A and B are shown apart, each in its own frame.
Chain A
Amino acid sequence: MDKEQIKNSVRNYIAQNIFGNKLPNDFNDDTALVSSRLMDSISTLKMINHFEDELKIECKAHEVTADNLDSVNVFTAFLLRKLSK
């Protein structure tokens, strides 16, 4: 999967599981998800589990931070880093 595909996948996941299928109009790829408390801990972990399965990667507990998950762009970059390892 390339960067755009991952980003689309992340976007779709968020639309489906956080916003009930449709992203709000003011949502963009830099919208804060974790620090703004749009996503709670359970939904965050579910998102990680989902992409671990999809991309066959493994995340660590200390990686669950806003630094890695806070927006579509940030999370995509994090997944790409994990894939490159």
Chain B
Amino acid sequence: MKKTIALLFPEENPAITANVQRITFAAIAQNIFALCLLFFIIKKFEIESNTGINSLPYFLIPAYLLYAIVPIRFKAAVYVTLFVSCTYFAFGWLSGSVLLLLLLIPFFIFTIALTWNYRLLLTILFLGFMCLLRSDILYMPSVNLVIPFAASVLIFRVILLLYESKYNGIHNNHWLNLAYLFSFNHLFFLLGPVVDYKIFVRSFQAVNARENTNRAFWFLFSGAFLFILHRISTAIFATDAVTDLNTLIPFLIGNYLVVLKIVATLTFAVGCITLFGFQLPNPFGLFLFADSFKSYWRKVNIYWREFMMKLIYYPVYFELRKKSSYAFFIALFSTFIFSWFFHWYQKTWITGIISSTSTDFLFWLALGLLVAFTSNAQNVSVDNKGLEKTFSQNLLKGCKVLLVFTVMSVLWLLWKSESLADFFFILSKGANVKLASGAKIAGVVLICICAFAWVSFFVQKKKAENLKQEHGTYVIIVLLSLLLLLQYFYRNTESPKWLSVITMPEKVATQEQEKNEAGYYESIMNTGANWEISLKRSRRFNSLDEITVRTNDLLLQKFAPNKTLVYNEHLITTNSFGLRDKQYAFAKPDSVYRICLLGTSYELGMGVDDSEVFESITEQKLNTKNANLKIEMLNFSMGGYCVVQQFELMQKVVPSYKPDEIILFAHTDELRRFNNFFCRYIKNGTDLKYDFLKKIKQEAGVNQHQSRLEIKERLLPFMAQITAYCYRGIVDQCKKQNIKPVWVFLPTTTDLLTPTKINEVRTLAVEEGFETYVLNTAYAHTNGKDITMSETDTHPNKLGHFLIAQSFYNLLTDSSNHLLETTTWTKNKSKIQ
């Protein structure tokens, strides 16, 4: 037994062992307290709560305790055990085992005695197999869902392992090799640092425990702080529309500061690994304050830079240095082109979608050119760290920092833009500048440069670089604690948004999810955020396309009749009319009061079974409570429908069903959603059919070839007008057909309702002749999380629909509303009685 243990856990090199200072129990207790505080802060601020990070302390804290007390030779095994337990907790036995197996395959490829060529061949075969799984060609649900996680760990690590096995060899401690592949931060963040193999295995227990733990806490707390800072910056620089230079600047800054979230994610991940004895370097320098593009490239994502240098830059340079005098330039430039390729490779693996935009490529091309040219210009590396700068030199540096920051903000916008047309359209807004606002901007810029120069001057005078890292950790802990106190004592719905992100994170976190901004990193992060939904999926992911029919008219799509589909585990059945509803007789019986519902995905019941849709529950309840009366509710709702489709349905379809009443549902942000939707008509080149729509297209000056952003901006002022027109058309049709027109506002599950939000469209509905009602008590006294599908899909769940049904039933049966009483129906009712 002793021999087996000795084989499994060989003693480390005594030189390394001697370097490790035993940690005291007092220090362990202090660290456990710090971890509890960290996760308390993460929970209270709802930091990345959709990733499952809140469950991590249940594993991480006991694992850390065990790690701290076991002898050194068992420590790497504790790290591996932590990964295994987290995997089984997150994925269950079957999928968890599959994930572990997928990670063990490269472990065996690189640890058993094979020639490098065989390792290469087996790695390619393995990645090919993973590719088949990722593309769903090989369909095994329990396997497919773990592929993004396995991919996020492996896609770069196998490349580094191939490199190391070719040139330097693989370490003989297999626990360390396993630990390299069992990177548990990837279980909650799909985006992780590309940790170099050699640095990883060598750094294990390379410094004494206290120093390493201090570094880990610095990374963990500053990661948490940066997540909050990202939220605050997003709120401060939030811009509804870019109209001139005044709005373009905050828009660019807000856009660029998404990097804070990336920095936070990678820093936190590095902190998690460092806590277990791997002394990893800081993943980022102060790149936001870089004064040259070369310095920017040196400081932004240092791990990535090292990876690219190793794989591309040095090999290309050594290949060309005797053949071309531009070897430096070509090598550096190739590094950026391959950076684009590897980002595409990462995005494809994680999101499962093969796509790349011209803006992706142009971003890397432009950055590559900037770094290559400026690096060639500054070809002598004289580090001025030791030399004190004068205030005027710091002023000059401030100007350079501003220049780099501005160019990077613009490049970041390019990277995030869907198309070049979108990018140029937004930038063109910057030309719109008034003298007064120009002077104001110049003033702010000047103040920023002076402040930067002064702070730099002050910092170098005080020799701040000599401050210990643990002092920085204490400062961050104090700051986070102050924010916690603020959250505890000041919760006010009326406070500005930048304050709400601290004081009411539960509301803002959900709204953030709703936005799901476009962009490279967002797509990767959102894939990670949706993993819980994937886990719940037991069957092949079905697309609604399987039961919908594309149309070449204003409806764009509708349900095919008599279809059944399990969508996100919920049954969707369509009747012979192509409605998600039960079957009714086409001709309305005399004794029936027929209501037609016109709505969107909320009314359609995305995310619940047929019988759980609030329309279905309400109809059943109305008929049960009034046994002598028959009420039919026909659900004409469809996901993504807007007022134009509802107008079209009223012109073409609904009247033939002879309803007594139509109920048109509206939601928060109706005009903005409609704006997005109408843009699709223009981009698709859909025939707008009605003169008033064609006239608006002409007046707005939009066409298919413009960028989406331009189309949306030009159309926005006309949205209320089109809505009013459609409402009028619906009401006119109702009058002709003797149908009662009713308009109901149903808040979305994440709403912080204000009268302005409700009245935005209600006024139009009233003016055009609807009877209007608001279901504002539908979700009263409930927590948003209890009534939504998930944190990323905020459609109402079963409970949500049940609550809406109750509220809707009360609205319909409240006698003061007279909603179920029309002349026709009252006449029928008296006949029955």
Contacts and interface: CB of A to CB of B under 8 A. Distances in A.
B315 A61 contact: yes
Contacts of A41: 309, 313-314
A40 B294 contact: yes
Given A20-B382, A42-B328, A42-B375, A49 B321 contact: yes
B309 A18 contact: no
Contacts of A61: 314-315, 317-319
Given A60-B318, A61-B315, A61-B318, A45 B383 contact: no
Interface in B277-314: 281, 294, 298, 309-310, 313-314
B380 interface: yes
B382 A42 contact: no
Interface in A39-55: 39-43, 45-46, 49
Nearest to B385: A38
Contacts of B313: 41
B382 A18 contact: yes
Contacts of B298: 37, 40
Given A40-B298, A42-B375, A62-B167, A18 B381 contact: yes
B117 interface: no
Contacts of B166: 62
Of the candidates B168, B198, B294, B317, the one having the most CB atoms from chain A within 10 angstroms of its own CB is B317
Interface residues of B, number: 25
A20 B387 CA distance: 12
B321 A40 contact: no
Contacts of A59: 318
A64 B314 contact: yes
A65 B166 CA distance: 15
A1 B281 CA distance: 36
Nearest to A64: B314
Interface in A52-77: 59-62, 64-65
Contact of A42 (B163, B281, B381): B381
B390 interface: no
B386 interface: yes
Contacts of A38: 383
Contacts of B379: 42, 46
A40 B302 CA distance: 12
A39 B328 contact: no
Nearest to B381: A43
Contacts of A65: 198
Interface in B369-388: 375, 379-383, 386
Contacts of A17: 380-381
Contact of B314 (A37, A40, A62): A62
A60 B328 CA distance: 16
A25 B375 CA distance: 28
B167 A40 contact: no
B447 to A, nearest CB: 31
Interface string B309-340: 11001110111010000001000000000000
Contacts of B317: 45, 61
Interface in A2-60: 17-20, 24, 35, 37-43, 45-46, 49, 59-60
Contacts of B198: 65
B321 A18 contact: no
A49 B382 CA distance: 18
Q: Which of B318, B319, B382, B386 has the most C-beta atoms of chain A within 10 angstroms of its own C-beta? A: B318
Nearest to B167: A62
B328 to A, nearest CB: 6
Contacts of A49: 321
B381 A40 contact: yes
A40 B380 CA distance: 9
Contacts of B321: 45, 49
A46 B321 CA distance: 11
Contacts of B315: 61
Contacts of B309: 41
Contacts of A24: 386
Nearest to B295: A40
Contacts of A60: 318
A59 B386 CA distance: 31
A7 B317 CA distance: 26
Contacts of B380: 17, 43
Interface string B163-183: 100111000000000000000
Given A45-B317, A49-B321, A64-B314, A39 B381 contact: yes
Nearest to A19: B382
A20 B198 CA distance: 33
A20 B319 CA distance: 30
A18 B383 CA distance: 7
Contacts of A37: 298
11 contacts: A18-B381, A19-B383, A20-B382, A42-B328, A42-B379, A46-B379, A60-B318, A61-B315, A62-B168, A64-B314, A65-B198
Given A17-B380, A45-B317, 6 more contacts: A18-B381, A38-B383, A61-B314, A61-B317, A61-B318, A62-B168
Interface of B: 163, 166-168, 198, 281, 294, 298, 309-310, 313-315, 317-319, 321, 328, 375, 379-383, 386
The 10 A-B pairs at the shortest CB distance, nearest first, are namely A43-B381, A61-B318, A61-B314, A62-B167, A61-B315, A64-B314, A40-B381, A20-B382, A38-B383, A24-B386
